[in-house]
Structure 1
């Protein structure tokens, strides 16, 4: 009888757990699809330096903290709470209980999948350690180097652990050399994701196993490649009513570089979101479907807000010709950005590149002095461009030789590269050979310096100038010129910039931090390693039936609470009344 009673208890317990696990929101289910311009470059979080990898992996992997997609404020993720010392140098996080990694053959049981403090420690150690090729992960440069105690020694092989990252029970402590206003934002970055130490030990990180709301299902090959993610049935978060998250059954990321194809996919209903319209179809889409935007309820939702994203070219600073700042200034003055904006972008941008590397979005970058940056910016001045080039010893481009411009092929970037080549020749008499490739090849060429000038687009990881300026900090240039430079791809070194940048990162007050970053950016544009072209202001459109999807200036996508439901007229009327109230 006792054994029968025990079996009944276990069955009731299992039934109770299954019932709780199965509790679903009434509008759960369905698939959300969108197109990415390029393939993700990696499935390993600590190696992420591109937007496409981050966008996909942020649905699969999680960090101790995250960012709210609506407000971009820091929210709990794998850590349920944390404390910060009075001096801002010590952070202690309390890990959630009962968080499980996605299923994988490496795990022999459910217990093996349980998140542990050891997984956190191992993840940061791997993010600090060079791989077998001698390459340093992005995690080290983004958030550990010269900031977390013991990280440099561990990176250099002088210590067996990172002294400033320790575990005590379910608590993780970080000890910093100095206060960092952006440390929580850095911990929310995809490179700070936590990966199972068992997955790492099995060399299975490429299988994309995380704790996030969606799990990697498959990569579909063929004429239209796609990455398919499916719902994580064991996800730990619930909504306010106790319903399981995420709501969606699956996510599909189509890989499609052509904007015309992306628009066709959107209009046919294959995708529910489009980011950026093909320039040839902007008027037709916006004016031709005006009723779909203005009806009540609307069929389509439009967002056209400035994004924290810069599009620019950077110079290979190892090229002797570009060591002279007069040459780089000449190239900047030689570009008529109004032509780019009018003829190629068709006014689909937030601002033209008359500022620096940081997008001039004042409502997000509050307190940052963009007026001073603009004073150091470059507008079209062919006379000054020729004069500077002549002063550098290359009158009318004589003796300069040709320049190799590397870019990734798509409609816009190809057209911009072609126009850039024409303008440089017309103004400076220098031949620019344009060499298009895949996005992955461009990244590799840029990090190794295989070329002279490179196209780059940089999206903010968090709402602060540091996320842009860090790309030019001299400390991020490898000592070995043959090593890939994954952060400071231009291999730019400017002691004035570095001094202000360092002061900013160590500032204890936000106002001081912004002031020093401002001075650093002024120094950067006085000695420019870049040619700012434009700041993104893409038109983004979704179908109105996509609920709880939030556009934001950082373009971070979080599909955890997204669901699909058509509006009724009555429901929409009530929604608008509440919104106005």
Structure 2
């Protein structure tokens, strides 16, 4: 009953607080992070910005915490990068504050009777930031580039619904077999493998953005960070980027609806220390911060109207490398999973209204008329306390009675005050409850991510925020060929279930297949769920018109400043 009550509570929270553009003190759902990820401490970059907008100057400065790994739609993976890309690029459709899809670069579209062929009509006034028209060929080049194995796009699987995409990035077919073609310069036809209920949401995702062939081929490795070559088609364009310091975007005068952009400049800064970022916010040096020190949350909730706990559709978890001892043994993985007290973590450590996680897919996603998490159950994980006796028994069965003989292993996490506090709490629980020693190692973000992806870890911090509002966005990351399958887990039955669910047009039947897939990964315990995210953040009340979706996307194309004082 506790689990159901918590799940229902989160659903209500998601419904009533879905968007935080102007309201303050809203109640929830990457806390976080995943991926307002953090970098190693470098004193120079933690200095507050020296440029200070005055009064109602239309400039907003937002601390994004960490530099984006890339802002190339086919290379970027972090939420921070996605926030920037959603403002400088535009796909066929664009997500609004109600999580619906508005016309974007396409002004209209239609589909055939079984919804397997979609025809998009591009705006004749859609232009790139250099004034050249956006054409159907720009989308074709971008999508083919995304699934081309040579690109190594980690989100290539996002194009799975498009005809032949999976076979192409798996090396079975050439890129020209992708189900996309130009009827004429302004008409794009997309053929799907099967009807996909959430296809419009996918069309708004960065992997589906257009890119310019001529621009990329001139400077394929670094085109996106150079304002001279960063040619984009969104409401903003890149003006300046200094690593570890600031990334500035300004209005794109060639955008088809440039009049709706009110800001003269949007500055993203990268102050890695949450405490330094908060100090800069409270001093008025920045207008918003994407993460706050968890120890400050009670104070901010009590007396700061600029504090927001935003909904966030995601799961904070640790992943095990199932190819490395001692985590080749599922009993060890299950023992460590059951030996932690999730309720203690969210009530004494994270403090941001998070919910203990008992499965992988978070609550709040409705499929086939029911909440996917509530229908899927809790996989024997107690959300309110550690299951010490069960954990000890499993560890003994694995050959480590009372932790004897257990090898010293390392938990890696990306540099962050908050990640460190969570890791230390769990380290202590494992020592107390299982008598095992786990070392902690923090790594700078750009080093941590490739290490995790390449399997260079035994246990690693992780988090996943939905790319769209459907369980599939949480499950297909563990496909054998997925670039996001960090546990290095390969299961043919899981793969077959996921692909079958993607082909299934009946939502209830698709949900059944996805439940079976989640059952497999949780029975194998390839991940250790910790909590379901919320997003504690700050934004000055004089910043109006912006919005953030529960998927972590932030939009500033209608933002403006009103009422700022010196």
* Band of TM-score, shorter chain: 0.7 to 0.9
The reply to whether residue 503 of structure 1 matches residue 500 of structure 2 is: yes
The reply to whether residue 84 of structure 1 matches residue 89 of structure 2 is: no
Q: How far 1:83 moved relative to its partner?
A: 1.4
The reply to whether residue 351 of structure 1 matches residue 355 of structure 2 is: yes
Q: Secondary structure at the match of 2:513?
A: helix
Q: How far 1:160 moved relative to its partner?
A: 5.7
Change (3 A) 1:248 1:403: same
Q: How far 1:315 moved relative to its partner?
A: 0.8
- Aligned counterpart for 1:309 among listed residues 309, 314, 332: 314
- Aligned counterpart for 2:157 among listed residues 141, 154, 170: 141
Give the whole-Å Cα distance in 2 for the aligned partners of 1:151 and 1:340: 39
- Aligned counterpart for 1:195 among listed residues 203, 206, 211: 211
Gaps of at least 5 residues in structure 1 are 1-26, 104-109, 239-243, 294-299, 477-485, 569-581
Change (3 A) 1:217 1:454: same
Q: How far 1:433 moved relative to its partner?
A: 1.6
- Alignment length (residue pairs): 501
Q: Secondary structure at the match of 1:304?
A: strand
Change (3 A) 1:413 1:567: closer
Conserved 8 A contact 1:356-1:377 = no
- Aligned counterpart for 1:413 among listed residues 419, 436, 442: 419
Give the whole-Å Cα distance in 1 for the aligned partners of 2:62 and 2:368: 29
The reply to whether residue 360 of structure 1 matches residue 363 of structure 2 is: yes
Conserved 8 A contact 1:372-1:522 = no
Conserved 8 A contact 1:368-1:515 = no
Conserved 8 A contact 2:56-2:564 = no
Q: Which residue of 1 aligns with 2:47?
A: none
Conserved 8 A contact 1:461-1:467 = yes
Give the whole-Å Cα distance in 1 for the aligned partners of 2:405 and 2:329: 15
Conserved 8 A contact 1:305-1:538 = yes
Residues 150-549 of structure 1 aligned to structure 2 (within 5 Å): 152-153=167-168, 156=171, 158-159=173-174, 161-169=176-184, 170-204=186-220, 205-206=223-224, 207=226, 208-220=230-242, 225-237=245-257, 244-289=259-304, 293=305, 300=306, 302-345=307-350, 347-353=351-357, 355-361=358-364, 367-379=370-382, 380-476=386-482, 486-549=483-546
Q: Secondary structure at the match of 1:518?
A: helix
Q: How far 1:188 moved relative to its partner?
A: 1.1
The answer to which of 225-234 and 420-429 deviates more is 420-429
Give the whole-Å Cα distance in 2 for the aligned partners of 1:220 and 1:567: 27
Q: Secondary structure at the match of 1:63?
A: coil
Give the whole-Å Cα distance in 1 for the aligned partners of 2:411 and 2:117: 45
Q: How far 1:335 moved relative to its partner?
A: 1.0
Give the whole-Å Cα distance in 2 for the aligned partners of 1:537 and 1:211: 31
Change (3 A) 1:287 1:349: closer
Give the whole-Å Cα distance in 2 for the aligned partners of 1:166 and 1:363: 33
Q: How far 1:364 moved relative to its partner?
A: 10
Give the whole-Å Cα distance in 1 for the aligned partners of 2:368 and 2:231: 35
Q: Which residue of 2 aligns with 1:71?
A: 98
Change (3 A) 1:492 1:38: same
CA deviation vs aligned residue, 1:403-439 (integer Å, no higher than 9, x gap): 1211111111011122222222222233212110111
The normalised TM-score by structure 2 is: 0.83
Query: Which structure is richer in relative contact order (CA contacts within 8 A, separation 6 or more)?
Result: 2
Q: Which residue of 2 aligns with 1:9?
A: none
Conserved 8 A contact 1:313-1:533 = yes
Gaps of at least 5 residues in structure 2 are 1-54
Q: Secondary structure at the match of 2:312?
A: coil
Change (3 A) 1:389 1:74: same
Q: How far 1:372 moved relative to its partner?
A: 4.1
Q: Secondary structure at the match of 2:238?
A: strand
Q: How far 1:493 moved relative to its partner?
A: 2.6
Q: How far 1:39 moved relative to its partner?
A: 1.4
Give the whole-Å Cα distance in 2 for the aligned partners of 1:157 and 1:351: 42
Give the whole-Å Cα distance in 2 for the aligned partners of 1:544 and 1:150: 45
RMSD of equivalent CA atoms = 2.5
Give the whole-Å Cα distance in 2 for the aligned partners of 1:193 and 1:28: 33
Conserved 8 A contact 2:148-2:168 = no
Q: How far 1:559 moved relative to its partner?
A: 0.7
Give the whole-Å Cα distance in 1 for the aligned partners of 2:345 and 2:338: 14
Q: How far 1:462 moved relative to its partner?
A: 1.1
Q: Which residue of 1 aligns with 2:6?
A: none
CA deviation vs aligned residue, 1:193-226 (integer Å, no higher than 9, x gap): 11111112212533332111111111235xx711
The reply to whether residue 115 of structure 1 matches residue 150 of structure 2 is: no
Give the whole-Å Cα distance in 2 for the aligned partners of 1:514 and 1:563: 42
CA deviation vs aligned residue, 1:507-535 (integer Å, no higher than 9, x gap): 21233333332332233222211111111
Conserved 8 A contact 1:317-1:490 = yes
Change (3 A) 1:425 1:365: farther
Instruction: Specify the structure having the higher radius of gyration (Cα).
Output: 1
The answer to which of 122-131 and 499-508 deviates more is 499-508
CA deviation vs aligned residue, 1:118-157 (integer Å, no higher than 9, x gap): 21111111111133xxx6213422214x742366247627
Conserved 8 A contact 1:102-1:209 = yes
- Aligned counterpart for 2:123 among listed residues 85, 93, 96: 96
Conserved 8 A contact 2:366-2:372 = no
Give the whole-Å Cα distance in 2 for the aligned partners of 1:82 and 1:151: 25
- Aligned counterpart for 1:51 among listed residues 69, 74, 79: 79
Give the whole-Å Cα distance in 1 for the aligned partners of 2:418 and 2:545: 31
CA deviation vs aligned residue, 1:71-128 (integer Å, no higher than 9, x gap): 111121111111122222111111111322223xxxxxx4xx2222221111111111
Q: Which residue of 1 aligns with 2:149?
A: 130
Conserved 8 A contact 2:363-2:372 = no
Q: How far 1:505 moved relative to its partner?
A: 1.5
Q: Which residue of 2 aligns with 1:18?
A: none
Q: Secondary structure at the match of 1:54?
A: helix
Give the whole-Å Cα distance in 2 for the aligned partners of 1:496 and 1:59: 39
The reply to whether residue 61 of structure 1 matches residue 89 of structure 2 is: yes
